[in-house]
Structure 1
Amino acid sequence: MDLVVRQPRLPKPGETMFGTGFSTVPGGKGLNQAVAAARQGGDIDFIGAIGADGYGRELRDLVAGEGIGAVGLAEVSAPTGTAHISVVDSGENSIVVVSGANATVTALTAEQESTIQRASFLVMQCELPVAALAAAITIARANGVFTVLTPAPVVELPAGFLASVDLVVPNQIEAAELTGESDPARAAEVLSNARTWAIVTLGAEGCILAYDGTVLGLAPARPVTAVDTTAAGDTFVGALVARLAAVQSPGAVSAAGITEERMIDAVRWATVASSISVTRHGATSSMPSLAEVSAVLA
């Protein structure tokens, strides 16, 4: 659950200041991306954990309301995870995540494994323990499932982990942390080595697309007036994968099997979805429908 405070600026260390608003909004990177993909027409199943508390019940209701499968959503004794979000007047945000129930997902249940085996795409974030992500990738690769990773929050990953992912989508800060490269184009090259797709998002400047160690170009952002950038990246990823899935051919999907034309089309779709989301407040509450994105691209 996102606990969102609006404020004129970030406080200095030790400072107490007044905020201008507070809200609780269903969130979490995984849920955000699942909702964004579902609203773009994706057939989505969710894997994760919630607590047996009020936040957990609200999140489960949201999943059901969005038409997202929840066989893989476990209920545990730990409290539901929270994200504590400060949104300043410029629309930028800073986030502190308290994992709660998500931290208990260190292995996959039979239901969760089966969910992955049936999928065409597996979308992951680092809000679940790395052990669970590694297990999920192993199952995905054995079943021809295309894997996507948003490496946030940035955590220590095992050697070779990123090379085993088909598509990695960090923002500029995350890309620099993962590669040690301050230049986002160079970071994209490093992340895309070993026949991997990489998309480094740059906020209002768009995103950089790379494959197999080569930058393919900069996709510009759609100009809008932002009021809240919370979940803009998650909207981008959810819409991107939903668009990739919408135009895929039957059968297994590999990184090499997705053409540059198809990826560029998905990036264009995701860019529009993300641009709409930043003109609204909140995380899941800001995400556009398929009809809204289609209207812009018509």
Structure 2
Amino acid sequence: MAKITVIGSSSMDLVVTSSKRPKAGETVLGESFKTVPGGKGANQAVAAARLGAEVHMIGCIGDDHYGKEILANLQSNGVNTSYMKVVKGESGTAHIVLAEEDNSIIVVQGANARLTPSVIEKAEEVISQSQMVLIQQEIPKETVGFVGSVCKKHSVPLMLNPAPARKVKDELMEAASYITPNEHEASILFDGAEIEESLRNLPNKLFLTEGKKGVRYFDGNKMVVVPAYPVDIVDTTGAGDTFNAAFAVGVSEGMDLLNSLRFANRAASISVTAFGAQGGMPTRREVDTLMKRYSL
């Protein structure tokens, strides 16, 4: 069983569905509104747990009603919450518009802004025993950098999902074993450099996720594209988190890169067929069944 630690945000998603995305200054009528647990960190933790990993989640929640719901949801999905810190104040929220087969998201950090290096220090033992650490950027940048140094100290592979997009220090880029931006995030991460050049400079380390096109990386000799699996899309929220979690599980279980990416693409394809960031995240049996049934 893969031992994975996820460090990052947890929030409550406030989701509006609409047939049209409003322009600046425009009001449109929505079709529905729901609240569902989310946050990139919590999403990745739940996805990895459903795929059979032993998962510890490190993060901060508020002492409000949302915080209680977030914690209960993690626990009900088999995630170890021993290192989740409850702080005074509001939990994080994400305000999501689903329209035109895509999503737009505004994140309010709330308690996630309190995930400081001191919280990480208290969890250093479990980090040191992990086969993979996953981290994102909905938490303070100094914490993300500190996690990189802790992983480097203990020789633990780190998967950096640089979302939301922002520049990171060279030390963090060096500490990360796997970096998984989408096209927008890559343009910010590498100052608008040609993506092919960036891929060639980071062979088997930089993995560009391109939505329906799949995932692209440089294996040291050639560019490799791992195609996505076509499905009928209901909600793309959480697809990237599912991909990262599944990629981490695959690598931690000893799959080679190509098969880890195929596994991740298949898990992500299933995740978009149901509502909510976590609503469509598949179990291991679902992914394995479809991997056996269909081959690219």
Superposed pair shares fold, TM > 0.5: yes
1:272 is aligned to 2:282: no
Q: Could you say what secondary structure the match of 2:107 adopts?
A: strand
Cα distance in 2 between the residues matched to 1:238 and 1:40: 8
Q: Percent identity?
A: 35
Name which of 42, 65, 71 aligns with 2:76. 65
CA shift for structure 1 position 106: 2.2
**Counterpart mapping for 1:224-243 below 5 A:** 224-243=231-250
Q: Is the 8 A contact 2:165 2:184 kept in 1?
A: no
Residue equivalent to 2:213: 205
1:246 is aligned to 2:257: no
Deviations 1:178-201 (A, max 9, x none): 1134754334334x2xx6611110
CA shift for structure 1 position 269: 0.3
Q: Kindly provide the amino acid, as one letter, of the partner of residue 267 in structure 2.
A: A
CA shift for structure 1 position 131: 1.2
Q: Could you say what secondary structure the match of 1:268 adopts?
A: helix
Residue equivalent to 2:9: none
CA shift for structure 1 position 218: 0.6
Deviations 1:102-140 (A, max 9, x none): 111122334322221121111000011111112211111
Cα distance in 2 between the residues matched to 1:211 and 1:47: 32
1:40 is aligned to 2:51: yes
Residue equivalent to 1:28: 39
1:120 is aligned to 2:120: no
What TM-score, normalized to structure 1?
0.89
Q: How large is the RMSD of aligned CA atoms in angstroms?
A: 1.7
Cα distance in 1 between the residues matched to 2:145 and 2:29: 43
Q: Kindly provide the amino acid, as one letter, of the partner of residue 108 in structure 1.
A: S
Residue equivalent to 1:104: 114
Cα distance in 2 between the residues matched to 1:135 and 1:12: 39
Q: Kindly provide the amino acid, as one letter, of the partner of residue 154 in structure 1.
A: A
Q: Could you say what secondary structure the match of 1:288 adopts?
A: coil
Deviations 1:113-170 (A, max 9, x none): 2221121111000011111112211111111210000000112322332122110001
**Counterpart mapping for 1:169-188 below 5 A:** 169-181=180-192, 183-188=194-199
CA shift in 2, pair 1:159/1:143, >3 Å: closer
CA shift for structure 1 position 247: 2.4
Cα distance in 1 between the residues matched to 2:163 and 2:54: 24
Name stretches of at least 5 consecutive residues in structure 2 with no aligned partner.
Answer: 1-11
Residue equivalent to 1:223: 230
**Counterpart mapping for 1:274-289 below 5 A:** 274-289=268-283
Q: Kindly provide the amino acid, as one letter, of the partner of residue 226 in structure 1.
A: I
Cα distance in 2 between the residues matched to 1:155 and 1:22: 30
What TM-score, normalized to structure 2?
0.90
Q: Is the 8 A contact 1:227 1:278 kept in 2?
A: yes
Q: Is the 8 A contact 1:198 1:211 kept in 2?
A: no
CA shift in 2, pair 1:243/1:168, >3 Å: same
Q: Could you say what secondary structure the match of 2:96 adopts?
A: strand
Cα distance in 2 between the residues matched to 1:185 and 1:273: 26
Q: Kindly provide the amino acid, as one letter, of the partner of residue 224 in structure 1.
A: V
Cα distance in 2 between the residues matched to 1:209 and 1:158: 22
